[in-house]
A and B are shown apart, each in its own frame.
Chain A
Amino acid sequence: MPDQTARGNSKRGFDVAVIGGGMIGPALSLGLLARGLRVCILDEGDDVLRVARGNFGLVWFQGKGFGMPRYVDWTRRSASLYPDFAAELKEFTGVDIGHANPGGLELLLGEEELAHRQHFIGQIYQQGGGKDYEVEFLDRKQVDEMLPGVALSDEVVGASYSPIDGHVNPLFLLRAMHTRFQQLGGTYLPQHRVSGVRKNGAAYDVMTEAGTVGAGKVVIAAGHGLKELGPPLGLDIPIRPQRGHILVTERTKQILPMPMSAFRQTAEGSIMLGVSAEEAGYNDQVDTATVAKIAERAARTIPALRGLNIVRSWAALRVLTPDKCPVYAESQSHPGIYGIASHSGVTLAAVNAKVAANWIAGDPPPDEFQAFGVERFDA
């Protein structure tokens, strides 16, 4: 056990201090604990931007990695690790994160959307997704065959489909990871807002509102917090917030056999509707006009949805890099300090726990990381 009483409020003796208790920090921490390392998670309170509690819950492959084939690979790898990751969480925590991999569709309304999607997916294919890029286009008849019992509107002309796509209950995922973290002896420290990191011999002092925490390595998985914490530590990563809205309907009988990018039905029967993208700074308030737009599109796609009551809606702020691809970087000026940024914390949870964590533990970086550095943003 780390000595928590040695110097007043100071907590020392951690191998790794992970800043951020959202989707990325706990996933990485599970992998670090599996290596026998002493790990703490420094988290804030409930009054901060909690991106990890606003997720849609897709484990999504198709369309990711435009301009970066390595991100296609990384996403595919996470999807392939998900079944075991979910099974392990269930076995040890009792929490069923509801992972399912039935494939996924992006339904396209009208020929223009179809052409646009074909062009977009075609470019990812040409950029190096290659012949193994598991996304195909279905015509309307094929879509209907895949969705028996769903009455699509006449506007639906087809869909892009990937067998790799799936979904998960993101709140159960978060809870399961935190439960497992504590089971494995991790130290969770809420109300530890970090103000900065200082070198202390061969290790680092992390200054928090609740005292100093000492650790050999520091991982900044703090979502939007990276913007402030990173630059003094050689991790100037140009992330920005992008707001997204989600609506949830009352529970219905199971009708949607697979997630459809903008819709998915949860194991409990709710239908979640998304997903918007607005530039709204750090404003995470719900915008009713956007909510109406999402609902209207849903009803245009599956008219029967029009009769369902919306029981909840919320907005959350994606952590977006300029190329929408993730950053996994070790600081050049401060070796042993790592910055992680991604808006795909749910999709990448499995690969973060099973692969990325080993890199922080000291293993050579996985091949994909050649593309995930910060140098790519240098003008």
Chain B
Amino acid sequence: MLKRRHSNAEVVRITVDGETVEARAGESVAAAVLAHTAGATRTTPVSGAPRAPYCLMGVCFECQMVIDGVPNRQACMIRVRDGMSVTRQDGARDLEGAPGGGA
């Protein structure tokens, strides 16, 4: 698990897989998740291999998670917001939950 070096920013509460996690305003979802867990944040669509945030700059797409109900979002490119719900992306997404999509 990674440790924050600076922690004087305002505390923001999000949930990660249902568990309340204290994040810091201004940090990315990926940073908040990495400070909370060292485990996988998604499994790949084809082989199901576990993955976690890697490049942290929007390039590698390893950090995809379900954020506020929207699947496959890049956690490193989205800032935490109070009350945000973040869950692990398990394998391929489905079409439900897509903005504009539906059951």
Contacts and interface: CB of A to CB of B under 8 A. Distances in A.
A249 to B, nearest CB: 10
A268 B48 CA distance: 12
Given A268-B46, A269-B45, A309-B72, A252 B92 contact: yes
B10 interface: no
Interface residues of A, number: 17
Contacts of B97: 307
Contacts of B99: 306-307
Given A251-B45, A268-B46, A269-B46, A306 B98 contact: yes
Interface in B34-92: 45-46, 70, 72, 91-92
Interface in A288-315: 299, 303-309
A301 to B, nearest CB: 13
A305 B72 contact: no
Given A251-B92, A255-B95, A304 B101 contact: yes
A254 B94 CA distance: 8
A20 B75 CA distance: 44
Nearest to A250: B72
B103 interface: yes
A16 B99 CA distance: 56
A306 B100 CA distance: 6
Contact of A251 (B46, B70, B101, B103): B46
A376 interface: no
A146 interface: no
A303 B100 CA distance: 7
Interface in A141-162: 151
Contact of A304 (B46, B72, B91, B95): B95
B18 interface: no
A307 B95 contact: yes
B98 A304 contact: yes
A308 B45 contact: no
A53 to B, nearest CB: 21
A253 B72 contact: no
B26 to A, nearest CB: 25
A242 B53 CA distance: 42
Given A250-B72, A252-B93, A307 B46 contact: no
A304 B70 CA distance: 13
A251 B95 contact: no
A252 B95 contact: yes
Given A252-B45, A253-B91, A306-B101, 9 more contacts: A251-B93, A252-B95, A268-B45, A269-B46, A303-B102, A304-B96, A304-B100, A307-B98, A308-B95
25 contacts: A151-B102, A251-B45, A251-B46, A251-B92, A251-B93, A252-B95, A253-B92, A253-B93, A253-B95, A268-B45, A269-B46, A299-B100, A303-B101, A304-B95, A304-B96, A304-B102, A305-B101, A306-B98, A306-B99, A306-B100, A307-B70, A307-B97, A307-B98, A308-B95, A308-B101
The 4 lowest CB-CB distance pairs between A and B, nearest first, are A307-B98, A307-B101, A304-B101, A306-B100
Interface of B: 45-46, 70, 72, 91-103
